[in-house]
Amino acid sequence: MMFITGPLYSGKRTFARQFAGSCITDVQDKAADAADLTQLAEELAQYDIVIATEVGGGVVPVDAGQRAAREAAGRLACLLAARADCVVQMFCGIPTVLKGELPKKC
Amino acid sequence: MLTLVLGGAASGKSEYAESLVLKTALPRYYLATMQVWDAECAARVAKHRKMRARKQFATVECPLHLEQVQLPARGTALLEDLGNLTANELYSPGGAGKHAARAVLAGVEAVASQCENLVLVSNEVFSGGADYAGDTDQYLLALAQVNNALAARADNVCRVVCGIPVYYKGGTPE
């Protein structure tokens, strides 16, 4: 599995389109409602490409629910990165490989 | 040569971008994007103009319609910043509105064709969440379109972190 992360609108999906296989996006939204983050990460790791938007780079939200959601999203990203063969972080459309090697392009 | 310098608030991106320009030959232009609303803004602008005059920058005000800028001679230009310019085009009565990103990109092309070196300063504001709505989301999308298109177009892309330049593309321009 290749895990692609990066800020909002940083070109994650556009980058992912170069690679074949099943792809799931916006997994950061799934973290808040998950009873078990590890199990969620295991399920998501069955995809070839998993995409999450980084949401932990702002000020701590005032709302408790939003705080918890942000926390869960960050933890999920760590669990996914640990399971990934390749981790890519996007920045203004430019990929940086943080772990492993990129799969073959299609 | 086109160089894009990005960073978060108070990351040192402006200072670094300016240091790149100071290494180049004259003339030097500073393309200022701030809209002057009141006396406080005006005083700030006057102070910054004076500081830059010592560094031999000629200031060109372009809070809107960058594509109309005419530089008197070929040299180096520093545009600061794209976050401001995009917001102006998006929200000002005389701006491009929903075509803000396209207008900013056309403006950058017009300026790039008039100088040897163009250094663009832009803003990183995309890591605080993913569920923005309305005007904020519209702004983030427009600025991301500007940043991503210019990162693809630029010879050098530099992210400034705590005052330290990290190159994602190219390297320190000669």
pLDDT tens, position by position, B81-139: 999 999 999 999 999 999 999 999 999 999 999 999 999 999 999 988 888 889 999 99
Note the pTM of the prediction, 2 decimals: 0.89
DSSP 3-state assignment of B148? Answer: helix
CA distance B148 to B79: 17
Contacts of A93 in chain B (CB under 8 A): 148, 151-152
What's the mean pLDDT in A28-39?
95
Contacts of B5 in chain A (CB under 8 A): none
Rounded to 10 degrees, what is the CA torsion of B46, B50, B55, B57? 50
Give yes or no: B99 in active site: no
**Count of domains observed in chain A:** 1
Q: State pLDDT tens for residues B143-163.
A: 999 999 999 999 999 999 988
Look at residue B174 and tell me whether its pLDDT is greater than 80.
no
In chain A, residues 18-77 whose CB comes closer than 8 Å to chain B: 26, 28-29, 53-59, 70
Q: Which domain holds residue A6?
A: 2-99
CA distance B88 to B111: 18
Q: Which domain holds residue B155?
A: 2-169
Contacts of A70 in chain B (CB under 8 A): 129
Q: Residue B92: which CATH number?
A: 3.40.50.300
Residue B174 lies in a domain: no
Contact B12, B162 (CB under 8 A): yes
- For residue A91, give how far its alpha carbon lies from the nearest alpha carbon of chain B (Å): 8
Closest of B104, B96, B52, B103 to residue B78, by C-alpha: B52
Contact B125, B83 (CB under 8 A): yes
Q: How confident is the model at residue A81 (pLDDT cuts 50, 70, 90)?
A: very high
Contact B148 A53 (CB under 8 A): no
Q: Residue A40: which CATH number?
A: 3.40.50.300
Beta strands (DSSP E) in chain A are 2-6, 23-24, 49-53, 86-91, 94-99
**B52 is annotated as contributing to ligand binding:** yes
Note whether B67 contacts A: Cβ–Cβ < 8 A. Answer: no
